[in-house]
Amino acid sequence: MITFNIKQNQQDCCDTTTQSCDTNSHNCCTPQPKSKEVCPKCNNKAKGVLAKTLNTLLKDETKEKLDSLEGFYYCKTPSCEVVYFKDKTFLTQDDVKVVVGLKDSAKPATVCYCFEWTKEKIKEDLQNNGKTDALEDIKAKMKDPGCSCEILNPSGGCCLGDVTKAIKEIKEELGLA
């Protein structure tokens, strides 16, 4: 059962566009909480997040108010102000140390926290060169020096899915798709 869970999570984390997930070379595929819950504000599905992710990313004053960092969920809906929630506790951008790049008004709109890829940088690449090597760059750096998504990325997981989506959206926006 445990093996099954880990396998599920690896697939989840390492987006289907990448067939090269090597768990020895980076730690983004450490098992993430498998549970899903619906965000009470936007009604979209949200993924569980590890306590250690919150421990690194939440402001100290927010942490002081919380009894426990366990059992929170991450809402990635761009238009939803909720970043993390548990029961009746809602945490927003104000509670988080880094800018949550996937939310609508985020500036910079960071998509890869380990190697600092933002939607702005991807857009600049696409405007100037018609292409971006964001994915190649991230994948190469995941092998060496390795990534720390679980403590740097607000989602606590691998960014490749988000980066792929961002590139697609920006290409469409620029008429390159």
The residues that touch Zn ion, with contacts defined as CB under 5 A, are 39, 41-42, 75, 77, 80, 82
| Comparison of 85 and 117: residue with beta carbon closer to Zn ion | 85
Place of tokens 């990313």: 57
Write the DSSP assignment of 12-81 as a string of letters: HHS-TT-----TTT-STTSPPP--EEE-TTT--EEEEE-HHHHHHHB-HHHHHH-S-STTEEE---TT--
- Strand partners for 110: 118
Report, in Å, the least distance between residue 6 CB and Zn ion.
27
- Under 8 Å between Cβ of 46 and 167: no
- Under 8 Å between Cβ of 157 and 28: yes
Which residues fall within 8 angstroms of residue 77, CB to CB, at 6 or more apart? Answer: 39, 42, 44
| Comparison of 109 and 122: residue with beta carbon closer to Zn ion | 109
Antiparallel, parallel or unpaired: β 36-38 and 45-49: antiparallel
Report, in Å, the least distance between residue 133 CB and Zn ion.
32
Report, in Å, the least distance between residue 164 CB and Zn ion.
22
Report, in Å, the least distance between residue 93 CB and Zn ion.
12
| Comparison of 75 and 100: residue with beta carbon closer to Zn ion | 75
Report, in Å, the least distance between residue 116 CB and Zn ion.
26
